[in-house]
């Protein structure tokens, strides 16, 4: 029987699910506005009930998305600054060395891939790309939502510039999510056909040992000192073991 290790808290799983739902609604209501001259775009605007409704849904969903990002950053900064959780997503020198070591491994210049901690360099790069992209979308989105107020503070030319940035960044984010993120998280040989850990919160001991060897070793060492409690916030760094099959 496979053993499962707790990897994500209920809050992290909620944030990811809310992010998927809100981002999907924003892409579905935003991209047809950008490509309105294309047949598929004008057709989908009509199917969704017309441009007024599409703009309305986009604006309110944008505000919810902004709230999710702000709450995420506030909680993460608080937890890291008060040392409640380790800054496991902050890039370090090891990430650059790991990226080089991984290239060497892919080119068969070394026999072993690097050993990663809780998040590898690709996951950190993607996370910070997502944070930066979200901030661009939120700032430019609010500039478009309040153009008169924005033009009182800044030169008027920033409004068309914000529209251009908002649309191009949306397209970039959409393409990154459907190619890079879905490949890394679900379609790569290591994860195919589907890595459900961010939905169930649990991952297999085998995957943990292979993909996050350093965290796994720390977890084993802590296990020898004390039996970690099962639940959503067990030591070290939110990991606990169970042989229950995750639901879903």
Q: Of the two residues 55 and 99, which places its CB atom closer to ligand HEM in the complex?
A: 55
Transcribe 168-207 into DSSP letters.
HHHHHHHHHIIIIIHIIIIISTTTTT---HHHHSEEEHHH
Q: Of the two residues 33 and 233, which places its CB atom closer to ligand HEM in the complex?
A: 33
Considering only residues 109 to 138 of the shown chain, the ones binding ligand HEM according to CB under 6 A are 134, 137-138
- Cα separation, 97 vs 213, whole angstroms: 16
Considering only residues 18 to 37 of the shown chain, the ones binding ligand HEM according to CB under 6 A are 23, 26-27, 30-31, 33-34
Q: How many residues bind ligand HEM (CB under 6 A)?
A: 26
Considering only residues 158 to 177 of the shown chain, the ones binding ligand HEM according to CB under 6 A are 163, 166-167, 170, 173
Write the CA distances from 188 to 122, 138, 181, integer angstroms: 13, 31, 10
Residue 49 CB, shortest distance to ligand HEM, in Å, is 14
- Cα separation, 52 vs 79, whole angstroms: 41
Q: Is 45 in the site for ligand HEM (CB under 6 A)?
A: no
Tokens of 40: 């598929």
Q: Is 4 in the site for ligand HEM (CB under 6 A)?
A: no
Q: Is 58 in the site for ligand HEM (CB under 6 A)?
A: yes
Phi then psi for residue 82, to 5 deg, are: -95, 10
Q: Could you tell me if 40 and 240 are in contact, meaning their C-beta atoms sit under 8 angstroms apart?
A: no
- Cα separation, 8 vs 119, whole angstroms: 12
Using CB under 6 A, which of 66, 68, 101, 241 touches ligand HEM? 66
Q: Of the two residues 63 and 222, which places its CB atom closer to ligand HEM in the complex?
A: 63
Strands lying side by side in the sheet with 202-204: 202-204, 4-6, 240-242
- Binding string, 172-211, against ligand HEM, x = CB under 6 A? -x--------------------------------------
Binding residues (CB under 6 A) for ligand HEM: these are 23, 26-27, 30-31, 33-34, 55, 58-59, 62-63, 65-66, 134, 137-138, 141-142, 144-145, 163, 166-167, 170, 173
């Amino acid at each position: 029987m496979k053993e499962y290790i707790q990897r994500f808290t209920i809050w992290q799983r909620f944030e990811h699910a809310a992010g998927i739902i809100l981002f999907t609604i924003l892409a579905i209501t935003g991209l047809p506005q950008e490509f309105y001259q294309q047949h598929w775009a004008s057709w989908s605007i009509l199917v969704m009930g017309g441009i007024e409704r599409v703009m309305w849904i986009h604006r309110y969903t944008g505000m919810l998305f902004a709230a999710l990002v702000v709450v995420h950053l506030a909680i993460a900064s608080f937890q890291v600054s008060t040392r409640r959780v380790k800054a496991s997503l902050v890039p370090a020198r090891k990430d650059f060395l790991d990226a080089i070591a991984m290239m060497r491994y892919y080119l068969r210049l070394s026999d072993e891939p690097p050993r990663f901690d809780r998040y590898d360099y690709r996951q950190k790069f993607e996370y910070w790309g997502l944070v930066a992209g979200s901030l661009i979308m939120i700032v430019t989105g609010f500039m478009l939502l309040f153009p008169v107020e924005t033009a009182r503070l800044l030169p008027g030319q920033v409004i068309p510039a914000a529209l251009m940035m908002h649309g191009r960044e949306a397209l970039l984010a959409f393409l990154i999510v459907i190619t890079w993120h879905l490949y890394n998280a679900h379609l790569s040989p290591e994860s195919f056909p589907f890595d459900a850990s961010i939905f169930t919160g649990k991952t297999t001991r085998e995957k943990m040992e292979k993909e996050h060897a350093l965290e796994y070793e720390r977890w084993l060492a802590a296990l020898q000192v004390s039996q970690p409690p099962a639940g959503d916030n067990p030591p070290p760094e939110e990991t606990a073991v169970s042989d229950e099959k995750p639901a879903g």
